Amino acid sequence: MKNSLGTSVILTLFGESHGPEIGAVLDGLAPGIPVDEGFIAAQLARRRPQGRTDTARREPDAFRIVSGVFNGRTTGAPLCILIPNTDTRSADYEKNHGLARPSHADYAAHMKYAGYEDWRGGGHFSGRITAALVAAGAVALAALSAKGIRIATHILQCGEVRDKDFSEFPAELDLVNGKDFPVIRPVEVEMEAVILAARERSDSVGGIIQTAVSGLEAGLGEPWFDALDSVLARALFSIGGIKGIEFGSGFALAGMYGSQANDPFCLQDGQVRTRTNHSGGIQGGLSNGMPLVFNCAVKPTPSIAQPQQTVNFLTGEEAVLHLVGRHDPAIIRRICPVVSALTAIVLCDQLALRHGTDYLR
């Protein structure tokens, strides 16, 4: 489905970095879900560049909902959200057209679209599109919240600075969701220092972000290709900057013995739980009632102001690229609400499939 995701609740994205508007269509939502435009605006604000660590491209994200909402609630028809692009500077890109930005999609897109792609600012590959995704995801997040399901994403690692893992649910989730710079321990200043130091050197940093979901029932997902980890990973790898995903203890499990890695079951207040959560809440592709926890590896922002070796794919010659303009030395902070939004949309789809289209009303 290319730019669409989901089976019963379906997200479709469109738009380009330098086009007039970007947008998202969210189809299959239960009718009757309250739509709070203030909450959408707040989620967009979390994704928006701000402060000292972000790109200088600043846009108000003046979204408008053109369908699917009536009297403040979803109607059950497709909900379309549009966001105009305002602060575009295509001229910055024109002089470098043909010079493949390293670790960007430029060259691969040129090979796929034979030169017809809108190359200004990354076109349809741009992280700008995630604004529409965050807006749509806000509706999903609110619907889940009304069912007691909370989602939060924090920066687990930036440079060598590391936050703690989620361990108290849902307290830490609420804590993180209340912060502009989403971390559990007070490591903002240290992480910002890493980012600013990189900017100083015309460089950029990556990091690891961690997402948790509390309040999720057991039995969501499917055994094989709609396994909960499968559908989440499909959604999350759509973000160009994410290069790795691990559920629970993930890659660390590779070095453990079964006797260490297995999560023993126990009873807590009459409920079946596991004593540890190395599985990250998923066993055999199904949620097991424990908090869902996964980490995403985010590569350093590939746009850096240093000169870089590259190829001009229009002339077929090697060249040196001097990127000008406004770069993000790190997108890890801004990617957090995107991952939460995608997670929310995937879970809405799963719940609608299991319990029917009206479940999330």
Q: Which of residues 67-86 bind its own copies (CB under 8 A)?
A: 67-68, 70, 73-80, 82
Q: Does 5 bind its own copies (CB under 8 A)?
A: yes
- Residues 249-278 as x/- pattern, contact with its own copies by CB under 8 A: xxx-xxxxxxxxxxxxxxx--x-x-xx--x
Contact between 293 and its own copies (CB under 8 A)?
no
Which span (88-96, 173-181, 183-191, 225-233) binds its own copies, by CB under 8 A?
Answer: 225-233
Closer residue to its own copies in complex, CB, 193/227: 227
229 is a contact residue toward its own copies (CB under 8 A):
yes
Structure tokens at 237: 């790898």
3-state secondary structure of 3: coil
Q: Which of residues 11-70 bind its own copies (CB under 8 A)?
A: 12-16, 19-23, 25, 27-28, 31-32, 64, 66-68, 70
Q: Between the CA of residue 241 and those of 17, 126, 193, 297, 325, what are the distances in Å?
A: 16, 11, 21, 8, 20
* Binding pattern for the stretch 180-199 against its own copies, x by CB under 8 A and - elsewhere: ------------------x-
Q: Which residue, 178 or 309, is less far from its own copies as judged by CB?
A: 309
| Measured distance CA(329)–CA(301) in Å, rounded | 6
Task: Give the closest residue to 157 by CA, choosing from 8, 295, 13.
Answer: 295
Residues 6+ apart with CB under 8 A from 337: 43, 46, 47, 134, 137, 153
**What residues between 85 and 144 interact with its own copies by CB under 8 A?**
100, 102-105, 107-109, 111-114, 116-118, 122-125, 129
Q: Which amino acid appears at position 274 of this protein? A: T
User: Total binding residues for its own copies by CB under 8 A?
Assistant: 151
- How far, in Å, CA of 324 to CA of 72, rounded? 43
Restricting to residues 143-172, which ones interact with its own copies according to CB under 8 A? 157, 159-160
Q: Binding of its own copies at residue 336 (CB under 8 A)?
A: no
Q: Does 322 bind its own copies (CB under 8 A)?
A: no
Q: For the chain, state the CA radius of gyration.
A: 21
Burial profile 78-95: b = 16 or more Cβ within 10 angstroms, e = fewer: ebbbbbbbeebeeeebee
Q: How far is the CB of 319 from its own copies (least distance, A)?
A: 9
